[in-house]
Amino acid sequence: MSFIDEYIRVIKLTRKPKKDEFLMIAKVTGVGLVLIGLLGTAISLLGSLLKGF
């Protein structure tokens, strides 16, 4: 199977998400971004506090 055939097969299987599906994906993505940001901030603060010792 060529790349073009696989590409066409994938395009035929995809569909536009419904509004509720889109909103759920957006919420989960937003929560993930916030959690990663908080984790990065905590690590940064911990590193700056430990740098003083």
Nearest to 21, CA basis, from 11, 32, 29: 29
**Global model pTM greater than 0.85:** no
What's the rounded Cα separation, in Å, for the pair 32 and 27? 9
Q: Is residue 8 part of a domain?
A: no
- pLDDT (0 to 100) of residue 53: 67
Q: Is residue 1 part of a domain?
A: no
Parent domain of 26: 16-51
Could you read off the pLDDT of 6-32 as tens digits, one per residue? 999 999 999 999 999 999 999 999 999
What's the rounded Cα separation, in Å, for the pair 41 and 43? 5
Please give the span between the terminal C-alpha atoms of the chain, in angstroms, as a whole number.
61
What's the number of domains the chain is made of? 1
Q: Is residue 32 part of a domain?
A: yes
Q: How is residue 4 written in tokens?
A: 């073009």
